[in-house]
Amino acid sequence: MNQVFSSYNPFLTLEYMQRKSITPEIWQQLDELEKSILTYLGSKKKVTRSELCTYTSKAPNTISARLNHLISLNIIKRNGSKYDPKQTYEMQ
């Protein structure tokens, strides 16, 4: 198994990451918070921004910025309107 993935997260295996279009190169470009978000998403089907704030102990604006970056990389997708307080996020 590739050390880039296996050394960081037991939930995100190489096979899973490749199915989700996360190459080792992309993984290495992500910061620790983004990796933490993906770890959480890898263990859940859908999550809210509020759940991620609780999980990471980070502010909503910080989480939103990271989620938007992961969306722009086509790693995750948003379900619901951008302004919907009940919107969820999931792996692509």
Q: Nearest Cα to 92, choosing from 78, 81, 64, 83?
A: 78
CA of residue 86 relative to chain centroid, distance: 18
Residue 51 CB burial class (10 angstroms; 0-12, 13-18, ≥19): middle
- CA dihedral (80, 83, 86, 87) positive or negative: positive
Per-residue pLDDT of the chain (92 residues; tens, 9 = 90+): 344 444 445 455 555 565 566 778 888 889 999 999 988 988 888 999 999 999 999 999 999 999 999 999 989 999 998 888 789 999 88
C-alpha to C-alpha distance for 10 and 60, rounded to whole angstroms: 26
Structural domains in the chain plus CATH codes: 3-91 (1.10.10.10)
pTM to 2 decimals? 0.78
Q: Which residues pair with 22 in a beta bridge?
A: none
